[in-house]
A and B are shown apart, each in its own frame.
Chain A
C-alpha cells in the first residue's frame, strides 16, 4: 500500500514563562506550520501553554534502553557529587 500517512511530530509545550518546554504527546501533520496548528488544537485547548515546539519524530535520537546500565549506573556510586555527602558542624550546616 502506498504510504499516505502524514509524518509524526513530537510536541513540547511551555506551560508558562519561566518553565521548560515539556514533551506532551505527538501529532500527525504534513508540514511544520500545520504541525504547530494541530498541536495548538490538540494540546492547548485550556490555556495549557504559552509556547509550542514541534519536532519531526524521526529527527529525535534516543538512547537505547538496553544501554541503561552503562549510561546511568556509573553515577550511582558518586555520592560525593551531592551536597548531602558532606557532614558539616551544625552551626554552619545550612551552607
Chain B
C-alpha cells in the first residue's frame, strides 16, 4: 500500500452529480462535524470540493496499489525459495486487495469503477511515482518492503482517522495488513546480509537506489504544497515534512541493525532539533517521474492497459452468462 501526497493541481473534469445544492445550513452542519472530529458518511451532504479532493486522493491511492503489483509481480517466478515465493504472492495479492478496498471507498462518492480505471489508463489520474523505478535484483524486493512500504505506513496511519468514514475504514483494514509487508522485506534483507559479500553488496546497491525515491514519497515540502484544505477537512492530519522526518528518524536505526548505510552524506543526528538532518531532495527528478518521465512509466501503464483489454472478453462473457441464466430463470417461473 503506497499512498503519496502528490499535491498536484488537477485539470477540471466532469463532476459526479451533487446530491444537494450548495447550502449554508448544510455547510454549517458539515463544518461542525469536522471541527468536532466526527466522520462524514457516504450519503451525508458534503461540499463539492471535499468530494472532489477525496475522489482524487482515494483513487490515486487505489491506482498506486494496483500499479504497485507490477514491480513485485515481476519477481514471483524468480523468488529464490518456495517460502519467499509464497510470501511474495501473498503480498502482491494484498496489494490487489488494498486497491479494491480503496476503489470501493471512492465509489461511495458517486464515481464509477469504470471511470476511475479509465482515468488511470488514459494517464489523467496519477499513481505513486515510486513504481516508475525498476526492480533490478532480488534485494529490491526486500528494500521495497522495508523502505517503500515503511514510508507508506507512515503516510497511511494518520489516514485511519481521516474525516471520511469509508476511506478511514478501508485504511484501518489496510494498515493491519501492511505491517507484514514491511517486516517480510526487512527479514528478506537480514537473510541476504548474513549471506555472501556479493549478496551484501546487492542489498547496499538496492538501498542506494531506493532511499531517495522513498523519502520523495511524502510529497513536496509543506511550503510548496498547494492543497491546504485537506488539513482543514481532516483528510490530511500530519504534514508531508513531519511525516518524512518521522520516517527518516525511524529508518536510521533500522539501517544500522541491518548493516547498510543510507546514501546521504548530510544525514546526521541534530541534538538541538532532536531529529536527524538530511540532504536536499532532487525535486526535479520527482516532478519528472510524476510527470511521466520515469524509467518505467510507459511500461507500467502499458501493462495495466494490456491486462484490462485482454480481460475484456472475460468480463463481457461473465455478464452475458448471468443475463442468460436470469432469463432462463424467468422463463421457468
Considering only residues 303-333 of chain B, those with a C-beta below 8 Å from chain A are 312, 315-316, 318-319, 321-322, 325
Determine if B107 is an interface residue (Cβ-Cβ < 8 Å).
Answer: yes
Least CB distance from A82 to B in Å reads 23
- Main SS at interface, chain B: helix
Instruction: Determine if B104 and A5 form an interchain contact, defined as CB atoms under 8 angstroms apart.
Output: no
Interface readout for A11-34 with B: 1 if CB under 8 Å, 0 if not?
Answer: 000000000000011111011001
Number of interface residues of B (CB under 8 A): 27
Contact assessment for B321 and A65 in the assembled complex, using a CB-CB cutoff below 8 Å: no
Contact partners of A78 in chain B: CB under 8 A: none
Of B90, B93, B173, B321, the residue contacting A30 (CB under 8 A) is: B321
Binds A, one of B41-49, B57-65, B276-284: B41-49
A to B contact number (C-beta, < 8 Å):
53
Listed stretches B94-102, B184-192, B221-229, B243-251; interface member:
B94-102
| Interface status of B232 (Cβ within 8 A of chain A) | no
Per-position contact with B for A40-65: 1 when CB-CB < 8 Å, else 0?
Answer: 01100110000000000000001011
| Distance of A27 Cα from B104 Cα, bound (Å) | 7
Contact (Cβ within 8 A) B318 A6: yes
B268 to chain A, nearest CB (A): 40
Interface of chain B residues 69 through 114 with chain A (CB within 8 A): 90, 93-94, 97, 100-101, 104, 107, 112-114
Taking a contact as CB atoms under 8 Å apart, the answer to whether B44 and A31 are in contact is: no
B114 with A4: CB separation less than 8 A:
yes
Q: How far, in angstroms, from A33 to B27 measured CA to CA in the complex?
A: 43
Chain B: minimal CB distance from A57 (Å): 9
B321–A31 CB distance below 8 A = yes
Q: Could you tell me if B113 and A28 are in contact, using CB atoms closer than 8 angstroms?
A: yes
State which of B41, B94, B318 has its C-beta within 8 Å of the C-beta of A34: B318
Given contacts A25-B101, A65-B41, contact A31 B325 (CB under 8 A): yes
| A4 close to B104 (CB less than 8 A) | no
Known contacts A45-B97, A46-B177, A65-B43; A30/B114 CB under 8 A? no
Interface check B170, CB cutoff 8 A: yes
Question: A5 and B113: CB pair below 8 A?
Answer: yes
- A42→B97 contact, CB < 8 A: yes
In the bound complex, what is the Cα–Cα distance between A13 and B138 (angstroms)? 37
Contact of A27 among B41, B100, B318 (CB under 8 A): B100
Q: Which residues of A contact B112 (CB under 8 A)?
A: 5
Q: A31 CA to B328 CA in the complex, in Å?
A: 14
Q: Contacts of B319 on A, CB cut-off 8 Å?
A: 4, 6, 30
Nearest neighbor of B90 in chain A, beta-carbon distance: A45
Given A6-B319, A8-B107, A45-B90, 6 more pairs with CB closer than 8 A: A4-B315, A5-B114, A27-B104, A45-B97, A62-B43, A65-B43
9 A-B pairs whose Cβ atoms sit less than 8 Å apart in the complex: A4-B316, A30-B315, A30-B318, A30-B319, A31-B318, A31-B321, A42-B100, A45-B177, A66-B45
